[in-house]
Structure 1
């Protein structure tokens, strides 16, 4: 599968136009620690400014524990990086599961689920979730394109990240029912948000 993204006879060159490699690197960066931590801090700041201290604490715990999960799984499996094609991005940790796929799924889906809790329109909730899924998908594909992960690494990362986000969503629902987290206000009209 990794060879499918490379020029026949030259595994160091990707298929497609020359700009596609930079696009893949840019998309991959959206699942990297720097971007995810920065985005998380920005969202936490917004929540704190809007009296969402409990939601901010919940989000911080959800994302910090997703990082811990990724680290534990990588250490447990210790799978080496692919050597079938040259890697076109710098990597330093084990290959399985893909940390970019796991963390982007966990972070973007958890944030989308929290955003979906405070909007009224179903199409807005679908937009948040669809955007999170699209981002996670593109990030995972970019990791295979760059030759730093096997497809199974990415699939495992998506599964673990989506599973973690689902657990967080269920926990947020449970906490909201007990009044510990804010949710949709029932008095908003259909045109709100």
Structure 2
């Protein structure tokens, strides 16, 4: 209640003492066999896309995808200006600044939730994904599409899509980390599937903006998702060892 003669607000109930607040217990650890199966499926799809692109077999698929969002003689974007701005906002989630800002925030949140193992694993996944994407992009040179006008600036090689790869790595990797907070299968799968859908939407936004072929974003997303699941399986033990080390415990902001 607020007194008429004072600006001080008095709560109706006393605040909960900090020492009585309990963080949620870790619900599960990543099933490495399932993660390896998911990674194998994604990497198999990625390998197929690489073969099709390098052998010039994606022409009709690429052209159809690029023209789907265009209309008129000048091949302008379909729909309202609001739709175009929404697509640009969506694609920014895979951009370097916002994507890395979200990743750093997620690592900090995991540390404050006392999930050091998941924080280290997620950080290693993101860094490893950046290295993998850079290596793959340098191996396959491809010019960006000129079929339709570009609706945003983009530079560098076209295949595979860096936005698509990195969005899949960050958002799927983040979902795998935060899924540890729930003991319910339905909640964990919902979080992971939602991250997969969001990252796929970021990937397709690059096609809608005309700066990538559909085959670019398909390969990029499959490669990024494959890396996120592969890292969850292969880097789990190193991440656990690093998280349980005395140095990590001293640096943990959630440690009193």
User: TM-score, normalised on structure 2?
Assistant: 0.65
- Paired position in structure 1 for 2:172: 109
How far apart, in 1, do the equivalents of 2:137 and 2:82 lie? 31
Partner of 1:9 in structure 2? 73
**Match runs of 1:130-149 below 5 Å:** 130-149=193-212
Q: Contact between 1:172 and 1:181, CA under 8 Å: does it hold in 2?
A: no
SS at match of 1:16: coil
Alignment of 1:71-90 (within 5 A): 71-90=134-153
* Partner Cα distance (2:216, 2:167) in 1: 14
* d(CA) in 2 for partners of 1:55, 1:85: 42
Q: Tell me whether 1:127 sits opposite 2:216 in the alignment.
A: no
Q: How many residues align?
A: 180
Q: 1: distance between equivalents of 2:133 and 2:241?
A: 30
Structure 1 residue 29 corresponds to structure 2 residue 88: no
Quote the RMSD (CA, aligned, Å). Answer: 2.0
Contact 1:95 1:149 in 2 (8 A): yes
Which whole-Å CA distance do the structure 2 matches of 1:42 and 1:180 have between them? 20
CA distance in 2, matches of 1:92, 1:48: 35
Matched residue SS, 2:68: helix
Whether the 8 Å CA contact 2:207–2:214 is kept in 1: the answer is yes
1: CA distance between counterparts of 2:117 and 2:144? 39
Q: Which runs of 5+ in 1 are unaligned?
A: 183-193
Residue number in structure 1 paired with 2:233: 170
Larger Rg: 2
| Structure 1 runs of 4+ with >4 Å offset | 172-176, 178-182
What is the alpha-carbon distance in structure 2 between the residues aligned to residue 97 and residue 34 of structure 1? Answer: 19
Secondary structure, counterpart of 2:177 in structure 1: helix
The Cα shift of 1:4 comes to: 2.1
TM-score with structure 1 length normalisation?
A: 0.85
1:34-87 superposed Cα distances (whole Å, 9 cap, x missing partner): 111101111111222233334322221110111111111111112111111111
2:220 corresponds to 1:157:
yes
